[in-house]
Copies of this chain bind each other. A is one copy, B any other.
Amino acid sequence: MARKRLQGNRAPTVHTVAKLAGVSIASASRVLNGLGASPETEQRVRAAAAKVGYVPNAVARSLRSRRTDMLALAVEDIGNPVYVAMMRAMETVVRRAGYRLVVHATGADPDGEVELLDGLAKRYVDGLVLVPIRVTDAHLEALSRAAGPVVVVGALPDDVEVDNVRTDSHSGVGLALSHLVESGRRRIALINGPLDTVPGAARQAGYLAARDRLGLPADDALIEIGDFRYEDGRRATERLLDRVRPDAIFCANDLIAVGALHTLLSRGIRVPEEIALVGMDDTDLARMSFPQLSSVSLGSEERGQTAAQLLLDRLVDPDRPPARVTVPPRLVIRASSRAVRP
């Protein structure tokens, strides 16, 4: 297999093809774009293009057409299973429409997200799906001056005029707690993430509301806060169990829930017999745990698909009013919270 790289010579352009075919660049371009041309011209251009291995330059085409056929996705951490699910769903939708996906890991840095929004003015992509975990005033300002279409995944103040996909994790927590009560639990703990994040705040509020609605004991010792990751879940559960003895734990996140499961099992506590466990996000992790984890699905795939579709629609019709889609939560019951006879 010889190494025949076209070292010095530039790649063939439409000029190359046109010259070889003996026609003008306009004719060459027209043939290559399937516009009208005589059979004679058609044939000669195609032959010439094939001969030199012509491939149109995407950058030049983008400059002329003012579109890049690329969309950006910005999430905090491309390793988090929730975002992985979203990204996978988006990639599929976007690819089907002939676009490519550029991914950005913002590392929860609000400045980075604002920079990304302002970066839209560089026009290196046609649009952006932003999944902020915290929303600051700087975000809102950057959103209002964004130079291109943006879809935000996650809750926003009502007066922000941006395409928006959200879920209702508030009532999602309610689903989980109702289910736990129905299956005989009363002392239901919450292990949450930071309260200054959008998801953390929503889950906290949802827990408090459901606790009242269901007439559960209002014991704040049942609430523990960590971060949204596995190790934090483990440690938060340790702290919780050193203090109180719930008969169920709701975790704000599957990562936390898997951490909690670890702590429970390593203390010899049986799940779900002694303590039932419910997570949130219904990621692959939930299926892969043992016992399998009940989890409140917030439709990550669906939110990803919808966000991508909204962005694609926006590109077609820039003037349509901002859309807001809410994906309803759905409880997936598995072994970790099955009802048991005492």
Contacts and interface: CB of A to CB of B under 8 A. Distances in A.
A290 B258 CA distance: 9
A78 B59 contact: no
Given A58-B124, A59-B68, A144-B3, A230 B79 contact: no
Given A290-B266, A290-B290, A103 B123 contact: no
Interface string A293-307: 000000000000000
Contact of A84 (B79, B144, B160): B79
A35 interface: no
Instruction: Specify which of A2, A70, A161, A265 lies most central, judged by the most chain B CB atoms within 10 Å of its CB.
Output: A70
A43 interface: no
A266 B265 CA distance: 15
A171 B65 CA distance: 52
Interface stretch (A86-94, A187-195, A218-226, A241-249): A86-94
B55 A59 contact: no
Interface of A: 1-4, 11, 53, 55-60, 62-63, 68, 70, 77-79, 84-85, 87-88, 91-92, 95, 100-105, 118, 121-124, 140-141, 144-145, 147, 159-161, 230, 255, 258-259, 261-262, 265-266, 284-285, 287-290
27 contacts: A1-B140, A1-B141, A1-B144, A2-B144, A3-B144, A57-B122, A57-B123, A58-B124, A59-B63, A59-B68, A59-B123, A59-B124, A70-B124, A78-B84, A78-B91, A79-B84, A79-B284, A84-B84, A87-B103, A92-B105, A101-B102, A103-B103, A258-B288, A285-B285, A285-B288, A289-B289, A289-B290
